[in-house]
């Protein structure tokens, strides 16, 4: 098998794979044509393969990967024993990806193995939690007038239901409640630059979550 065939096989096998990472923050990057673009810096990997699942044994093909090494003393015996097969220690973040049939337990997946400059990726993160919020902050309601008879009813949501029929509030009614702390996927972000030696991925635009929060990066075609 030639080098080109091996590379094509590697790319095909990893088409559905992704990486666990951590959001470093945002900055701007100066392109060769002089344009300045906003980018989110993501520490993507390296991830370690902890387990392989096969269609014969588990009913589907997937690999379980770990990211961000943890202290074994802070893990329970089940987690330590599960990670022992890979021989790379324990991890704070573990996730499963379809594909990766050619990867063995204990193998490392680097950002340069999956992504290249110009690729499109989907990035999933957990948005910042903002606690219990009213309808103006949570749903961008306009509120009530500041005058013309309005009395102690400025930031309320208005009426929420009907009269005797149907005599209830419909599900999904926009009301006050928990705001943020949701799983958010930002789709089709352009990979501006891959810095394989630093395990960094620079994508154009913003990604949900705080600095230091875990994110999942997948190829857009997957």
Per-residue pLDDT of the chain in tens (222 residues, 90 and over written 9): 444 444 434 433 445 788 999 999 999 988 888 889 999 999 997 998 988 888 888 888 889 999 988 888 888 888 888 888 888 888 889 999 887 777 888 888 888 888 888 889 999 999 999 999 999 999 999 988 988 988 888 999 888 888 888 889 999 999 999 999 999 999 999 999 999 889 999 999 999 999 999 999 999 875
Res 68: pLDDT: 87
Report pLDDT for 1: 40
Q: What is the pLDDT of residue 55?
A: 84
Q: Domain check: are 48 and 102 in the same one?
A: yes
- In terms of domains, do 67 and 140 share one? no
Residues 34 and 60 in one domain: yes
The single-letter DSSP state of residue 170 is P
Sorted by sequence, the CB contacts under 8 Å of residue 171 that are 6+ apart come out as none
- The pLDDT, as a whole number, for residue 130 is 93
The helix/strand/coil state of 196 is helix
Length of the chain, in residues: 222
60 and 94 assigned to the same domain? yes
Provide the pLDDT for residue 161: 83
- Is 137 found in the same domain as 77? no
Same domain, 44 and 114: yes
Nearest alpha-carbon partner for 93 in 20, 199, 201, 166: 20
Q: Looking at the 3D structure of the chain, how many domains does it have?
A: 2
Residue 45 near residue 109, CB atoms below 8 Å: yes
Is 109 in the same domain as 207? Answer: yes
Tell me, yes or no, whether 96 and 155 share the same domain. Answer: no
**Is residue 26 located within the same domain as residue 110?**
yes
Write out the residue range of the structural domain in which residue 157 sits: 130-179
108 in the same domain as 206: yes
- Would you report the helix, strand and coil content of the chain in percent, each value rounded to 5? 15, 40, 45
- Residue 180: CB atoms within 10 A of its CB come to 14
């Amino acid at each position: 098998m030639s080098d080109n065939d091996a590379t094509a096989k590697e790319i095909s096998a990893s088409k559905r794979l992704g990486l666990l990472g951590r959001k470093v923050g945002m900055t701007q990057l100066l392109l060769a044509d002089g344009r300045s673009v906003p980018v989110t810096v993501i520490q993507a990997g390296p991830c370690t393969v902890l387990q392989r699942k096969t269609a014969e044994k588990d009913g589907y093909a997937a690999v379980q990967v770990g990211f961000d090494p943890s202290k074994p003393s802070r893990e329970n015996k089940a987690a330590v024993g599960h990670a022992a097969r890979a021989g790379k220690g324990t991890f704070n973040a573990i996730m499963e990806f379809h594909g990766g049939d050619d990867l063995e337990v204990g193998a490392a997946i680097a950002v340069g193995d999956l992504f290249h400059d110009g690729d499109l990726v989907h990035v999933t993160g957990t948005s910042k939690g903002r606690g219990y919020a009213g309808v103006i902050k949570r749903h961008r309601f306009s509120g009530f007038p500041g005058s013309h008879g309005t009395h102690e009813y400025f930031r309320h949501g208005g009426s929420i239901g009907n009269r005797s029929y149907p005599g209830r509030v419909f599900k999904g009614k926009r009301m006050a409640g928990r705001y943020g702390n949701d799983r958010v996927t930002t789709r089709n972000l352009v990979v501006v630059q891959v810095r394989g030696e630093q395990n960094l991925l620079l994508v154009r635009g913003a990604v949900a979550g705080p600095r230091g929060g875990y994110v999942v990066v997948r190829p857009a075609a997957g």
